[in-house]
């Protein structure tokens, strides 16, 4: 394997692992996929260590010294379509159905798969908030209030995300405004159960994926990555709680809450 081919091969494998990580793939699955690709492409002495937000890999070219590469993955979003596309790429490489140039083209195609349109995300948040309010015992009024709150929460998250505003601050603002909306409606509709409407709206902000993947990483004995994901889940949950508390304190000051 020539020097250029070696560099291209190692770069392809790290790009594949990075694509999986930054789109919500599990740590152990990203590492396993990279190892399969390395064996399929005959990369010698390939070693990789994957964390939630980083990849460390090394390999040795023919007759040369070992070389290392590092990738930082600071932002993680959920796009399982891209993860599945990379998995399919690794399966085709393992089956000997792809050459290196074709694998690079297929990886670029996987990375360019479009994200969910903003309006579809907003619709999902509206429907999800209303359904959660119903599951927690709410009626039509609570479902409607939760749906509107879920819509504004999704808009806030999208706009703050475009400006790369910290997720903690984003969740505080979204939870606060969603709760304030429910408290404000209660002033005009006294029969509204604020707790049910608020909980329904907040469920779309909860860190379910981070919590689940953190537990899975720990079960797979990847304690460091699991601890990172669990800490992320705790911080997000704490941010949501802070937003709710701020809204209730503001509501009490404005007379919307009587304690």
Question: Where in the chain are the domains?
Answer: 3-111, 118-253
The pLDDT confidence band at residue 258, using thresholds 50, 70 and 90, is very low
Do 228 and 53 meet the contact criterion of CB atoms below 8 Å apart?
yes
Q: Determine the Cα–Cα distance for residues 244 and 256; give it in Å rounded to an integer.
A: 14
Is-contact 149 178, C-beta < 8 A? yes
Is the pLDDT assigned to residue 142 strictly greater than 90? Answer: yes
Q: How confident is the model at residue 259 (pLDDT cuts 50, 70, 90)?
A: very low
Contacts of 244 (CB under 8 A, 6+ apart): 175, 176, 179, 198, 202
End-to-end CA distance of the chain: 74
pTM above 0.75, yes or no: yes
Query: Mind listing the pLDDT tens digit for each residue in 71-113?
Result: 998 877 888 899 999 999 999 999 988 888 999 999 999 999 9
Residue 254 has pLDDT above 90, yes or no: no
């Amino acid at each position: 394997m020539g020097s250029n081919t070696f560099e291209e091969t190692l770069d392809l494998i790290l790009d594949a692992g990075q694509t999986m990580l930054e789109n919500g793939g599990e740590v152990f699955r990203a590492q396993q996929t990279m190892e399969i690709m390395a064996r399929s492409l005959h990369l010698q002495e390939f070693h990789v260590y994957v964390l939630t937000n980083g990849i460390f890999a090394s390999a040795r070219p023919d007759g040369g010294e070992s070389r290392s590469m590092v990738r930082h993955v600071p932002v993680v979003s959920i796009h399982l379509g891209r993860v599945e596309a990379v998995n399919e790429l690794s399966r085709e490489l393992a089956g000997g159905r792809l050459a290196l140039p074709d694998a690079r083209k297929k990886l670029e195609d996987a990375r360019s798969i479009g994200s969910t349109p903003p309006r579809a995300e907003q619709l999902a948040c509206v429907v999800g908030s209303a359904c959660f309010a119903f599951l927690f015992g709410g009626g039509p009024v609570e479902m409607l209030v939760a749906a509107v709150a879920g819509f504004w929460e999704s808009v806030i998250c999208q706009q703050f995300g475009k400006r790369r505003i910290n997720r903690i601050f984003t969740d505080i603002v979204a939870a606060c405004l969603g709760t304030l909306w429910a408290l404000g409606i209660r002033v005009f509709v006294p029969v509204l159960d604020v707790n049910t409407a608020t909980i329904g709206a907040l469920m779309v902000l909860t860190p379910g994926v981070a919590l689940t993947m953190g537990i899975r990483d720990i079960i797979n004995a990847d304690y460091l990555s699991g601890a990172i994901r669990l800490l992320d889940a705790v911080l997000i949950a704490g941010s949501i709680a802070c937003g709710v508390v701020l809204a209730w304190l503001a509501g009490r000051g404005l007379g919307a809450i009587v304690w």
